[in-house]
Amino acid sequence: MSLPINPQERKHQRKCSINIRTFALLLFAIVGGAVLRSAVATRLDSFHLDEGYHIAAGVSYVRHADFRINPEHPPLMKLWVGSFVALTGFRLSPFRQFHDKPDERDFTEQDVFLHNDPDAVQRHSRMAMFVLNSLLMIALAFALRRIFGEFVALGATLFLAIDPTVAAHLPVALTDLPVSFLSAITVVLAARAFRYWRWLDLAACSAALGLALGTKHSAPVFALFVALAGSLAASAPSIQAAGSRLKLFAKLGAMLAGALVVLWSIYFFRFTESNGQREMFNRPLADKIADLDSPAFRTALTGMAKTHVLPRAYIWGLADTLRAGVEGRFSTRVFFGRVYFDKGPKYFFPGVMAVKLPIMAPP
């Protein structure tokens, strides 16, 4: 079942819109300006701590279709950067057995900084990330245009272009900005998909969600949000017939399944991280899951591994993210004058937001 578009709404959209050519020219000018500003502002920046790790991992994915290195993050961004860098003749050392993450990080950083020209590697990776993030910014603008119109899309893009955090992240080979763009695209497309339930909108939302899942392990939060929003929309009181509700839930299920297909395609539709069946991670998956304190997390991840619902490298990275991002890292931090080990207080996130958000002082 799909709802018809209100003719009055369509008439109002036409009245308050600009033609697609003008929109595209303005959009490309804004995005081009954002890239130029970022290139100038970050031209003297060195590598981020994780960039060499990601770049060498990406080249290994492209050259060997092997995901044993850096499974902490899904491979989409690394595949993109690795494709650019691999074309330049990047020298990649033969694989060996790694002993936990520091050993693996040393292996990749030796390739980037000692066995290759690091300045050339950085130039090529920056070029790749400028292209990727520009394309994602443009895709977000077109998604916003489809839902809210041209002026909102251009205004939102302009806001992103002048944001210093976005400018700082545009050229770096990290997963944060790509997953932010893809998650935002997913949420925007979901708003239209769950209003009209048209297959084209559902397919676009599914593709964006799958790409987000393949970029960073924080994206499953948005998958849960989309599933919940779709369930509420399919259960709305305006949907009278039970058969209609079943059709909408079937469409929601197909959309979520499509996102998983996209995720599997990023791993080349292979459960194992390498061509062999034996695990090649820097730490066994069973040990990685055992590190988790939560029995629910351990049971869920063990079940995923046994049933092959997700690629094994993705499950490994999910276990790492849940341990470090949800349960807490094995480290000491000072927060509001107190020392915390492993986990911070429950008010950590709102406290960080309160500190970082600008507050206007009265004149």
DSSP state at residue 346 = T
Question: What are the two backbone dihedrals, phi and then psi, of residue 98, each rounded to the nearest 5 degrees?
Answer: -100, 150
CB 102 within 8 A of CB 49: no
Closest by CA to 32, choosing from 134, 155, 157, is 134
Whether the model pTM is above 0.75: yes
- C-alpha span between 205 and 340 (Å, rounded): 40
> What's the per-residue H, E or C state across 210-256?
HHHHCCCCCCHHHHHHHHHHHHHHHCCCCCCCHHHHHHHHHHHHHHH
Point out which residues pair with 144 in neighbouring strands. Answer: none
Residue that has been written with the tokens 């050259």 in this structure: 63
Residues 6+ apart with CB under 8 A from 169: 133, 176, 177
- C-alpha span between 198 and 212 (Å, rounded): 21
What pLDDT score was predicted for residue 331?
66
- C-alpha span between 126 and 81 (Å, rounded): 9
Q: Both ends of the chain: CA-CA distance in Å?
A: 55
Closest by CA to 254, choosing from 205, 309, 216, is 205
Burial 54-66 (b: 16+ CB within 10 A, else e): bbbbbbbbbeeeb
What pLDDT score was predicted for residue 153?
96
Point out which residues pair with 341 in neighbouring strands. Answer: 332
- C-alpha span between 130 and 136 (Å, rounded): 10
Average pLDDT for runs of 10 along the chain of length 363: 54 64 96 97 93 96 95 96 95 91 93 96 97 98 94 96 95 96 96 93 97 96 94 79 80 97 97 90 93 92 95 96 75 77 71 69 47
